[in-house]
Structure 1
Amino acid sequence: MAEHSATRSTEAGLFTLDWYRMLGSNARHAFWASFLGWALDAFDYMVFSFALGAIAATFSLNKGQSGLIATVTLVVSAFGGMLAGMLADMIGRVRTLMITVAVYSLFTFLSGLAQSYEQLLLFRALQGLGFGGEWAAGAILMAEIANPEHRGRALGAVQSAWAVGWGLAAIAYTVVFSLVDPSLGWRILFWLGIIPALLALYIRAYVPEPEVFIETRRAKQARSREAIQSGATANPLRQLFRRDLIGTTIAASVLAVGAQGGYYSIFTWLPTYLKTERHLSVVGTGAYTGVVIVGSFLGYVISGYLNDWLGRKRTFALYAVLSAILIVLYVNIPAGANSLLLVLGGPLGFCASGIFSGFGSYLAELFPSRARGAGQGFAYNVGRATGAFFPTLIGFLSAQVGLAGAIGFGALAYALCLIALLFLPETRGKALVAVQ
């Protein structure tokens, strides 16, 4: 019945903002806390990519040392996401969100004060703890407050904040580096990273815990029969590997591995391939970056609507197939076809980024409230940690089959998404209740 109701609602209100208008005041505060937290998280992370050349020059880094900073940040962020997921189940979604925002803003700021490569590596690693944890806390918070019929749209809007933060980072980089020497410019970009700390004050003042979490916590504290029978009083991470949840945990993790492995493969190696083997000078320009960012924003938002209209599984499958097709198209772009590359930049951002909008709602619906944070944090970040190795694998494969063939291997990552979906249920319109 809920499924049919969700279908009628989404068909009647497709691509409207009714989902936002129907939010209560507390839910709107939660939305903006999650949206701004993710946007500023993206800003703090992406300024590193823009400033990497200046950082390398300051500390005389080779490519291996520069790459290690990014790798360490991603790996530690995976642990940060898992930890934040468990904390969200133990101390609350809102408190965890505050902690993660404070952590990534503090260590981004400190990165700007680093006096050596070793200090910078340490600060970026610690920044990764907050960077990885913020998404888990914010997505769970919004998923539990949103109307079940509109959950996909609400989480898609939150996910679109990544494109907003990415765009803000690009603008800040352009402005700062045009005004000051690069040796100071990269430090200023990191110092701007302290701004999100103000968001923690807003969260503390205006965002309450979701009622679902409060009820689940009461059941745990009272050690009610229902809570004990469901295992709600056990460690949240341990619950993921019990007989009732282990199948979901594995399949959801494989889904995340596929999406993130494909994403990292595309955005790590395609620029190099297009520059060196297709001689496309537009790669890395402001125009191309802008097109990809706009495409990503639209992909995030529209994916949210499609998740409520088509359902979670069909939307994931659609975006996975389209992303794989785009990889094939990209590796076959004619040499020097800069105009064609600009045309494909939008769809690339749309598909490769848009697939992530479904994770916030789908993972929250797959896992019960007693282990929702742990499940969301674990599955998504297993995907992040494992997917981070796909670019390395492509690097090794390129020596055997060429870079084009190796990048094509990245398309197989999306096949993992399709396989995982075979073992997961459809959850569109599911109400999130306490304990379960």
Structure 2
Amino acid sequence: MTTPNEPAHRATEPRSGFLSWYHPLSRQEKRTFWSCKVGYALDAMDTQFLSFVIPTLIAIWGITKADAGLIGTATLLASAVGGWAAGILSDRIGRVKTLQLTILWFAFFTLLCGLAQNFGQLLVARALMGLGFGGEWTAGAVLMGEIIRARDRGKAVGLVQAGWALGWGLSALLFALVFSLLPAKLAWRALFIIGVLPAVFVIFIRRFVREPEIYQQHKAHESAAPGTAARFTDIFSRDLLSVTLRASLLTTGAQGGYYAIATWLPTFLTTERHLTVLGTGGYLAMVILGSYAGYLSSALLTDRIGRRNNFILFALGALGIALTYTNVVVGNTAMLFLGLPLGFFASGVFSGMGAFLTELFPTRVRGSGQGFCYNVGRAVGALFPFLIGLASQHMPLGHAIGVFAAIAYGVLILAALTLPETRGKQLEP
């Protein structure tokens, strides 16, 4: 049986190979896929620029590490707000329009980062950029989740998520290129100014990408029945409240574990294990490569073994890597190659998130529910690095990382076990 967003001519097609789902897509669906993937990669590129220019800003402006950390925290918290807002907007004005708006937003404020004259201006511009950074994921994930048929939704949305690793790698390459051509005092500005380029991509989206059919059908039904429009607060109604809370715990576990590992492991390994490989391009390349492989593998597995089993598998892997890093003494060479499984599991756990959240909520509040749950996880998960810092005053830093990683991924696993399995779920208008 087919659904409105699953044309009958695809129902009996043979399946073989990882990309067998892609070839039967219509031209419109392929354009949507690439628009979301490229958009997410450009989002990651703009977001990651800051991590590369912090040492330059410290040297040129004399800001402290605490100041630099404040910029990162402000961006993260603003991105949570942006994700909530984009979810609501995507239900009100459409998935495609919201995607266009968020890309224009983060591109414009990335440009302003490059024009900032002092720390205060950069802090404000970066925080405002975070609103678009958080919103773009929500709009793109909902758009992709609705346009791809049920049996391949996990692979397609996961491959879009993999665009993050590509954007991360692109930001590293641009950093190396720009800083080799220009003096540091100009290079950091040029890098941010390059970040305005995603705005040009919106022209393509505006011309070639349309709203999913299922969303159009829902809006037509709303227009025909005045007074039936959904409200953001509907995700807290009796029939959705439990799902909303458990999905928020799932995303909190995933993001809390990621931030715990990504924020503190380099400090632990550098200061307590005295490893030098952490600051090298080779180690970063290993982590990025592992991340991309993790996204791809998770995207495939989430449609094969189910959403819940996939989350549990990658959560256990990420926890195992965190405990290995903090409890096993290894040298620089071994640590270099351990960057692969670190990126693989810590990033791969996110690959199935977009498809799962899409399937948990009805069309009328899909953007609101997905935006809220994912970004509650982002906001609460952002507290984990701070809590680890506090705990490290009373216990070794490595133990603190292990404890909070175990708590985060334990929460993720428990939430996954209590939520319904949605693999293959057909979406309704």
* TM-score normalised over the length of structure 2: 0.95
Looking at structure 2, the residues matched to 27 and 234 of structure 1 have their Cα atoms a distance apart, in angstroms, of: 26
1:233 correspondence with 2:229 = yes
Looking at structure 2, the residues matched to 205 and 170 of structure 1 have their Cα atoms a distance apart, in angstroms, of: 31
1:109 to 98, 101, 111: 111
Looking at structure 2, the residues matched to 348 and 112 of structure 1 have their Cα atoms a distance apart, in angstroms, of: 32
Q: What code does the residue aligned with 1:263 have?
A: Y
Cα deviation code 1:2-58 (max 9, x no counterpart): 9xxxxxx9xx85652111112111111110110011000000000110111112223
2:80 to 72, 78, 81: 78
Contact 1:15 1:305 in 2 (8 A): no
SS of residue paired to 2:279: coil
Residue of structure 2 in register with 1:267 after alignment: 262
Q: What code does the residue aligned with 1:365 have?
A: E
Aligned positions of 1:25-44 closer than 5 A: 25-44=27-46
1:386 correspondence with 2:388 = no
Residue of structure 2 in register with 1:303 after alignment: 298
Residue of structure 1 in register with 2:243 after alignment: 248
Aligned positions of 1:85-124 closer than 5 A: 85-124=87-126
Q: What code does the residue aligned with 1:93 have?
A: R
1:52 correspondence with 2:54 = yes
Aligned positions of 1:11-410 closer than 5 A: 13=15, 15-223=17-225, 233-235=229-231, 237-334=232-329, 337-409=331-403, 410=405
Q: What code does the residue aligned with 1:291 have?
A: M
Cα deviation code 1:285-322 (max 9, x no counterpart): 11100011000001001101100000000000100111
SS of residue paired to 1:19: coil
Q: What code does the residue aligned with 1:179 have?
A: L
SS of residue paired to 2:210: coil
Q: Which moved more, 1:55-64 or 1:260-269?
A: 55-64
Cα deviation code 1:372-400 (max 9, x no counterpart): 00001000000001000100000000111
Q: What code does the residue aligned with 1:115 have?
A: Q
Contact 1:295 1:345 in 2 (8 A): yes
Question: Residues 13 and 284 (structure 1 numbering): CA distance in 2 closer, same or farther, change over 3 Å?
Answer: farther
Q: Percent identity?
A: 49
For residue 412 of structure 1, report the CA deviation from its aligned partner.
1.8
Question: Residues 14 and 251 (structure 1 numbering): CA distance in 2 closer, same or farther, change over 3 Å?
Answer: farther
SS of residue paired to 1:399: coil
Q: Which moved more, 1:59-68 or 1:99-108?
A: 59-68
Contact 1:300 1:353 in 2 (8 A): yes
Looking at structure 1, the residues matched to 372 and 309 of structure 2 have their Cα atoms a distance apart, in angstroms, of: 23
Report the count of equivalent residues: 418
Q: What code does the residue aligned with 1:266 have?
A: I
Q: What code does the residue aligned with 1:306 have?
A: L
For residue 257 of structure 1, report the CA deviation from its aligned partner.
0.3
Looking at structure 2, the residues matched to 22 and 51 of structure 1 have their Cα atoms a distance apart, in angstroms, of: 43
Q: What code does the residue aligned with 1:368 have?
A: P
* TM-score normalised over the length of structure 1: 0.94
Looking at structure 1, the residues matched to 423 and 96 of structure 2 have their Cα atoms a distance apart, in angstroms, of: 25
For residue 332 of structure 1, report the CA deviation from its aligned partner.
2.0
Quote the RMSD (CA, aligned, Å).
1.4
Contact 2:230 2:365 in 1 (8 A): no
Looking at structure 1, the residues matched to 109 and 207 of structure 2 have their Cα atoms a distance apart, in angstroms, of: 23
For residue 280 of structure 1, report the CA deviation from its aligned partner.
1.2
Contact 1:155 1:360 in 2 (8 A): yes
Residue of structure 1 in register with 2:7 after alignment: none
Looking at structure 2, the residues matched to 155 and 81 of structure 1 have their Cα atoms a distance apart, in angstroms, of: 17
SS of residue paired to 1:112: helix
Residue of structure 1 in register with 2:422 after alignment: 427
| Moved segments of 4+, more than 6 Å | none
Looking at structure 2, the residues matched to 234 and 138 of structure 1 have their Cα atoms a distance apart, in angstroms, of: 20
2:408 to 409, 413, 421: 413
Cα deviation code 1:191-235 (max 9, x no counterpart): 0101100111110000000011111111112227xxx7xxx5231
Cα deviation code 1:398-432 (max 9, x no counterpart): 11111011110222200001111122100001111
Contact 2:18 2:300 in 1 (8 A): no
